[in-house]
Chains A and B, each alone.
Chain A
Amino acid sequence: MSRRRAAVAALVRFLALVGIYLVAAVPFRTMSLITGFTDVRPVTAIAPVYAVFFGPLGCLAVAFGNLGADAVSASLRWTSIAGFAANFLGPLLVWYYWTRLSRTPFALRTVGELFRHSLAVAAMAFLEMVIIAPAVALVYPDVDAAYFALTVFLNTSAFPVFFGIPLAILLQEELGFLPLPPRRAPSKEKEAG
């Protein structure tokens, strides 16, 4: 495949990922927690799934999808820039864990793997919270920063665990989606074991 065709294929995939994110995100904008700032967001379940199956392209799709959802629901603010950064870097952390730090490829077949993925998701939620919450507290001092930070953490940790894990299992085990492989090969002793 030529470089040009590969670029076109990546662009089409990116637009499809953003489109799916938007279709899933926009209806939930009616379930507001802090009007104009945060709402109940089950769509966050998609973020680590995009990260492990589509890598940085998927992470970028989450960031643009979130920005698009802010725009169409008339909640685009200066803090959306922080939201964009958080929604890119958070899933990127999950991608980094499974492809750079883990010696085994992404799978959710054992209790240990489920635990490791849940920890990666918790780290993602924490990172997103520490990026978005201070930005909102700085620009909008009237917003209850502690409550806002809590909603960000719960949104980005609970939904990716309770809905994202079953979604990833479905995609990998039944629908033939392949996660990105780890860069570090498994050790020989482990392979022999």
Chain B
Amino acid sequence: MNRLQANICLLCVTLCWSAEIILFACIPAGVPAFATTCATTFAGSALLAVSFRRRVAAALSSGGWKFPASALLLAALSTSYNTLFLVGVKSFDVASGAFTFCMTVVVLPVVLLSLRRRVAPATWISVVLVLAGICLALGPSLRRTHLPGLAIMAVGCLLRAVQIVLLADLVKKHDPIAVAVLVQGFSSVLALGGWAIQDPRLFAGLPVSRALVAAWALYAYFVVAFAQCLNVFAMRRVTAANATVVYSVEIVFSLLWGVFLPEGIVERVVLTPAVAIGALLVVAGSVAEIADFRGLRRAAEGGAP
């Protein structure tokens, strides 16, 4: 997989993640979010584990105890930031909430610098553009009452940035399929814990129906098995900063769903000039990070691209 292919795969991952909101709308009311996470991550990781059992077994036997421990840490980080996002996003409307997710791009260089890693100039340019997009879209509507929610989202984004950096490291050391299986498997166990606290009846308390099974199946295929598989393989070929900036394009997909899909599926988004220009700045930030300007210049000068 080359860099162009890796970025296409990451865009597809982002598209799958943005479609989560549509799949959630298909899940019958009264089903806890932890139940959905538990069932779908289990089904997705089981699907991958069965399909690639030899690769997973080989990675586990050669990786030592540190490998599953790292996967558990990643799963814990993932569960933590998802829970924070669920709580924090309630303070905002759909469009503003979607922009707060992009803060991951802004905090990522801080994480990289604290780990004594180099941050490329292109990453700084994209950070400035994405930050400008967030400020433009959020600024006019931000009130003092939003600050607690914004702080929760900022902590969530920080944990997400750490998770992305650690995941990028782990997939470069171990088989990506095994990483996906373990992280999703541990996420399932952690979600089971959260679900048991929320409703100790677990499966007995669920309104089981064909619609629920179908929605969970779709979620397990697309958001867990397919998207995670693409994500771990793509992350082997790009930097954590590159991946994070591509993920920020989720804002564009979320706004498109909010504008074009019927109100029964998603909450409608009113596309104001500030929101539209903010989204364009986020896209510009992505282009600044992933476009190979040096290669294009070399090609224009007649050299090898």
Residues of A within 8 A of B (CB): 24, 27-31, 42, 108-111, 114, 162-163, 165-167, 169-170, 173-174
Contacts and interface: CB of A to CB of B under 8 A. Distances in A.
Interface in B1-47: 1-2, 4-5, 8-9, 12, 15, 26
B208 to A, nearest CB: 14
A109 B4 contact: yes
Given A110-B4, A169-B1, 19 more contacts: A24-B221, A27-B217, A27-B218, A28-B214, A30-B211, A30-B215, A42-B222, A109-B4, A114-B8, A162-B15, A165-B12, A166-B9, A166-B230, A169-B5, A169-B8, A170-B9, A170-B229, A173-B1, A173-B5
**Most A-side CB within 10 Å, residue of B12, B217, B230:** B12
A40 to B, nearest CB: 9
Contacts of A111: 4
B62 to A, nearest CB: 19
B2 A109 contact: yes
Contacts, number: 49
A28 to B, nearest CB: 7
Contacts of A167: 226
A113 to B, nearest CB: 10
Interface of B: 1-2, 4-5, 8-9, 12, 15, 26, 176, 210-211, 213-215, 217-218, 221-222, 226, 229-230, 233
19 contacts: A27-B215, A27-B217, A28-B218, A29-B214, A30-B210, A30-B211, A42-B222, A109-B2, A109-B5, A162-B12, A166-B8, A166-B9, A166-B230, A167-B226, A169-B8, A169-B9, A170-B9, A173-B5, A174-B233
* Dominant secondary structure of chain B at its interface with chain A: helix
* Dominant secondary structure of chain A at its interface with chain B: helix
Nearest to B8: A166
Contacts of A170: 1, 9, 229-230, 233
Contacts of B26: 30-31
Nearest to A173: B1
A33 to B, nearest CB: 12
A162 B26 CA distance: 22
A114 B217 CA distance: 30
A47 to B, nearest CB: 16
Nearest to A24: B221
Contact of A174 (B1, B4, B8, B222): B1
A169 B226 CA distance: 12
Contacts of B233: 170, 174
Nearest to A111: B4
